[in-house]
Amino acid sequence: MEPLLEVRDLVTAFPAPAGPLRAVDGVSLEVRRGEAVALVGESGSGKSLTALSVLRLVAPPGRVVGGTVAFEGRDLLSLGEREMCAVRGARIAMVFQEPMTALNPVLTAGFQVAEAVLAHEGVSRKEARGRARDLLVSVNLPDPDRVLDAYPHELSGGQRQRVCIAMALACRPALLLADEPTTALDVTLQAQFLDLLDRLRREMGLAVLLITHDLGVVARFAERVYVMYCGRVVEQGPAAALLTDPKHPYTRGLLASVPRRGAKGRLQAIPGGVPRLAEVPPGCAFGPRCPRFTEACAAAVPPVLAVGEGREVRCILYRGGAP
């Protein structure tokens, strides 16, 4: 079956005096119908820009300069702006990290969800309000009647996040792009939110591309994982295999820095930080932080290598198979 979303060799760049800087540098990924996929990496890896590029919402002067984005069999990068608007509203929904910014502070939650319903369905205002209430119930808001009439500042962070999801679901999308949706939530709310996404996947066949820097969230939620570093996918594969037997030294570093229950001693964080875009090193961008670095790593960007069932890694350690 063809994937719902298929991104190939996506490049998104910002102009700079010394030539364009590629914040997304040849990303390929796919999401199948109803699938839960995670895009993971430290802050500054290009995760958000990848999602924004898919939706063609990169703010100028940033620009998608290469690659293809196929969604439901159509090439999104060549659609007219009107058609793209329709896709954005109706087929792909997006929720962001800080729900406050996605809601209008002077309108009630109920009004905003009803507006989203009205934008996609030819129903009366009264029916739209009824649909809005149903949506609030479906996202597990315990007191939907109160929430309908509440202004965003009268709701908690978790409630606002749910209202955003309700708005996003008003159009019955096939794909939800969720960019760090749980980062602002405490652990309990985070778990509830992931349960909610699971249920929506089961009930609506909704596919979710979840962007996160939190490997706990990945383990809890994802069937497949893409690991990004400096604009490139450095490893991908089924979540269970990738999390128990990571191949790329970057993925290994990320996993080693996750606190484990009962673990003693200090966590091994990856030394150094994500380089600024203008300072991405040549060859493997992770080279300077990598415990397995050799000169060959800096010579060229490593090729994508197959490493077992549905798994790929961008690291020359695997040139001849397993190291």
Ligand X SMILES: Nc1ncnc2c1ncn2[C@@H]1O[C@H](COP(=O)(O)OP(=O)(O)O)[C@@H](O)[C@H]1O
Contacts to Mg ion by CB under 5 A? 48
CB of 43 to ligand X, least distance (A): 4
Site string for ligand X, 20-39 (x = CB under 6 A): ---x----------------
By the rule CB under 6 A, 43 interacts with ligand X: yes
By the rule CB under 6 A, 44 interacts with ligand X: yes
Q: How many CA atoms lie within 13 A of 295 on its CB side?
A: 0
By the rule CB under 6 A, 181 interacts with ligand X: no
Look at the block and give the residue holding tokens 């597990």.
140
Q: Which of 70, 79, 241, 277 binds ligand X (CB under 6 A)?
A: 277
Beta bridge partners of 92: 175
By the rule CB under 6 A, 62 interacts with ligand X: yes
Neighbours of 284 (CB within 10 A): 29
Q: Decide whether 48 or 108 has the Cβ nearer to Mg ion.
A: 48
Stretch that binds ligand X, among 45-53, 263-271, 295-303, 307-315 (CB under 6 A): 45-53
By the rule CB under 6 A, 14 interacts with ligand X: yes
By the rule CB under 6 A, 70 interacts with ligand X: no
Stretch that binds ligand X, among 41-49, 85-93, 101-109, 244-252 (CB under 6 A): 41-49
Look at the block and give the residue holding tokens 């965003």.
152
By the rule CB under 6 A, 46 interacts with ligand X: yes
The letter for the amino acid at 64 is: V
CB of 202 to ligand X, least distance (A): 28
Q: Which of 48, 112, 159, 190 binds ligand X (CB under 6 A)?
A: 48
Q: In whole angstroms, what is the distance from residue 296 CA to residue 134 CA?
A: 58
- Residues in contact with ligand X by the rule CB under 6 A: 14, 23, 41, 43-49, 59, 62, 277
